[in-house]
Chains A and B, each alone.
Chain A
Amino acid sequence: MTTPVLQAKDLTKRYGRVVAIDGSDLELYPGEILAVIGDNGAGKSSLIKALSGALIPDRGEILLDGSPVHFRSPMDARQAGIETVYQTLAVAPGLDIADNLFLGREERRSGVLGSVFRMLDRKHMRSEAARHMSELGVATLQNIGQAVESLSGGQRQAVAVARSAAFGSKVVILDEPTAALGVKEGNRVLQLIRDVRDRGLPVILISHNMPHVFEVADRIHIQRLGRRVAVITPKTHSMSEAVAIMTGAAAPPENPA
């Protein structure tokens, strides 16, 4: 069996007496879209935060390509190749598309201009940004120097996904990427997620939207009461079965994973 790209074993996180994650496991395999679903309070965002370095678990371990990693901040996870797109905080609205793509990892000009005058290589960043956007088939954006706030919700999400795909070398985590979008834009973002996978990057997709989950996910991780209760696939289970397992109305299948 292949080694998971990203694996969580027995992760636990408590806040006082509240248990957010209770010995949860997770496996993400190469080239797949793994959806994580669960009711409110099931611990899916805490689980994701632990994987993206935004939260330090009390117990358990995280393996990246089979070797243990310890993230102390979101920066650690990014440097290890895990890019996360957060639901509402994906972009800086006042900056343009290219600036947003390179935010926090700007490239400077070579020579004295870069080393002494700290001048940014705007030309290169713009052409790179344009390349990344067109590679992902985001053709609606003609002007890479356009401020992000002048874009629609779906286009903003596309910028955020493009950023994670451009810089994530191992894993892309998307937290509710279609939550605030209309039907048409939601579908476009789903296509973008497939494109990211088809380029070889495995994706973890957190979503409440069952039709979206069943449309793109290869496997579905169901989180309930702080732990993983089942892993199903859209082929073997129906949406209503998934919801039943998620809410505890139905017993999970015998063999998770």
Chain B
Amino acid sequence: MATTTADFEVKSHDSFGLRLQHLLHGNPVLGPLAVLLVAIIAFSIVNGRFFSAANLSLVLLQVTVIATLALGQTLIILTAGIDLSAGAIAVFSSILMALFCTDAGLPGPIALLLGLACGTVMGAINGALVTRIKLPPFIVTLGTLTIFFSLNSVVSNSETVRGTDMPGLMTWTGESIPIGSFRLSYGSIIMLLLFGFFAYALSSTAWGKHVYATGDDVEAARLAGIRTGRVLFSVYTVAGLLYAVAGWILIGRLASASPNVGTEYNLDSITAVVLGGTSLFGGRGGVIGTLIGALIVGVFRNGLQLSGVEVVWQGFAIGLLVLIAVSLDQWIRKVKT
């Protein structure tokens, strides 16, 4: 009798775990979404000010730059790559845009387009090194990270360009439209539109399928007739453009272009992607998860601050979340049929 009971207990426990594993495997967004909702509810209970329109607009504003960076980062991580230079490209692009206005005296729209083009070229350089010279993405972007930051200091003389010295278009991303007492910045609107666009591109176009197939198994994708080199190159190039857009949003957020910000952006963007359930091993995940992942980081930072937790412990909490997320991903990947 005792044996039967024990058997039954083990079985029912297994089947619940397996069912959860299958559920998360089929719907990778569910985990991050649950974490986000629990965090929002918990912080709302701890501090009444958390769930106010003013504070929630602040959270969204705070995550906009990281979310845009993380969008580009997601595309790259889906191909089983990684981009350590994301933040460097964003900051360097923002400096270039600002200097095109002030030093070169170009009109706002031209300076913006040139700045976006520069970011795209930086992404394309990463892509070319990964696909042509076939270096590991980690090494390539480690190198370009250092190069872009260095060039950034050279070009800017390590000086900040004030927003008031630039045309209004440059800082427009920081302006916002009020919806009740919620304030939605133009930067956040751009970010959300980009997420919508890439959610569509990944799920409903051949390019999206090829990105997933390349990340899943690059050799199988190549033998299926996909030009994997082109797919990878396009992903790094598009990511470069997205980082430059993040740079533009950054100017609006800071009301200036500063070469000395953003050293933490590189890793923060990876954090958002991982928390959003996209696998570092490629082929699994998506941009909606990343948006949720970025919001998790924002909600935790803001909520812990409002709860009176010292800043130094915020990093600890986020780091813990990352480790849990990656462990969860490993477990989900081992799904059995």
Q: Which chain A residues have a beta carbon within 8 Å of chain B's beta carbons?
A: 54, 74-75, 78, 84, 86, 89-95, 99, 103-106, 108, 117-120, 122, 147, 149-152
Contact = CB atoms under 8 A, between A and B. Distances in A.
Interface in B200-242: 200-201, 204-207, 209-210, 212-213, 215-217, 219-226
B335 interface: yes
A86 B225 CA distance: 13
B283 interface: yes
B206 A89 contact: no
Nearest to B282: A94
B190 to A, nearest CB: 20
A52 B207 CA distance: 25
B204 A103 contact: no
Contacts of B220: 86, 89-92
A147 B224 CA distance: 17
Nearest to A99: B209
B223 A93 contact: no
Contacts of A90: 220
A118 B283 contact: no
28 contacts: A74-B225, A75-B225, A86-B223, A89-B223, A90-B220, A91-B220, A92-B212, A92-B213, A92-B216, A92-B221, A92-B224, A94-B213, A95-B209, A95-B212, A95-B216, A104-B221, A104-B225, A104-B226, A105-B225, A106-B209, A118-B205, A118-B206, A120-B206, A122-B204, A149-B335, A150-B335, A151-B337, A152-B337
Contacts of B224: 92, 103-104
B205 A150 contact: no
Contact of A119 (B204, B209, B213, B283): B204
Contacts of A151: 337
A89 B217 contact: yes
Given A103-B224, A105-B225, A92 B207 contact: no
Contacts of B209: 95, 99, 103, 106, 120
Interface residues of B, number: 26
Given A120-B205, A150-B335, A94 B216 contact: yes
Contacts of B26: 147
A95 B205 CA distance: 13
B253 interface: no
Nearest to A163: B224
By DSSP majority rule, is chain B's interface helix, strand, loop, or mixed? helix
B47 to A, nearest CB: 41
Contact of B225 (A78, A91, A118, A150): A78
A94 B223 CA distance: 16
A5 to B, nearest CB: 21
B183 interface: no
Given A89-B223, A94-B283, A118 B216 contact: no
B301 interface: no
A120 B204 contact: yes
Nearest to B221: A92
Contacts of A91: 220
Contacts of A119: 204-205
A143 B337 CA distance: 15
Residue among B200, B205, B220 with most chain A CB within 10 A: B220
Given A91-B220, A103-B209, A105-B225, A150 B337 contact: yes
B205 A103 contact: no
A149 B216 CA distance: 11
B204 to A, nearest CB: 5
B284 A94 contact: yes
A144 to B, nearest CB: 15
A93 B225 contact: no
Given A89-B217, A92-B213, A103-B213, A108 B225 contact: no
Contacts of B200: 117
A94 B208 CA distance: 13
A119 B202 CA distance: 10
Residue among A91, A94, A117 with most chain B CB within 10 A: A94
A95 B206 CA distance: 12
Contacts of B210: 104
B213 A89 contact: no
A122 B203 CA distance: 10
